[in-house]
Amino acid sequence: MLGFPGGGHGMSGMALIAGIIELVCGLLIAFGLFTRLAAFLASGEMAVAYFMFYVGVVDSLAAKFFPIMNGGELALVNCWVFFFIIFYGSGRWSIDAMWRKRRGSAPSASSNVNVAPA
């Protein structure tokens, strides 16, 4: 990943960007930190990968239409799983959930103000 282990060839261009997106978004989704944003980026990256590297390289119309014929079914499954995570959000054991719980239990400054009736 990201050109490791060496071997004399590094990474550049789209492969480097894809590797960074997969590494960062994968860690963010795994720990539940900014889950929806990370899933949005990862889903878009998988859609780009499918259309550029699986649909764009085949010749027949049937192979372009059916993922099982062009070998891109795993990229599409990942794309739809990340798309689901965008709307489902993070789980209850995520960092996002801990932040929501802490923010919801903290008293706000406006809740302690008593307003006299007019």
Residue count of the chain, please give it: 118
CA distance 41 to 26: 10
Give the model's pLDDT for residue 30: 94
pLDDT top residue among 34 and 10: 34
Give the model's pLDDT for residue 76: 93
| 38 touches 97 (CB < 8 A) | no
Residue (of 95, 101, 102) closest to 32 by Cα position: 95
Per residue in 28-73, pLDDT (tens digit) is 999 999 999 999 999 999 999 999 988 888 888 888 888 888 888 9
Give the model's pLDDT for residue 5: 60
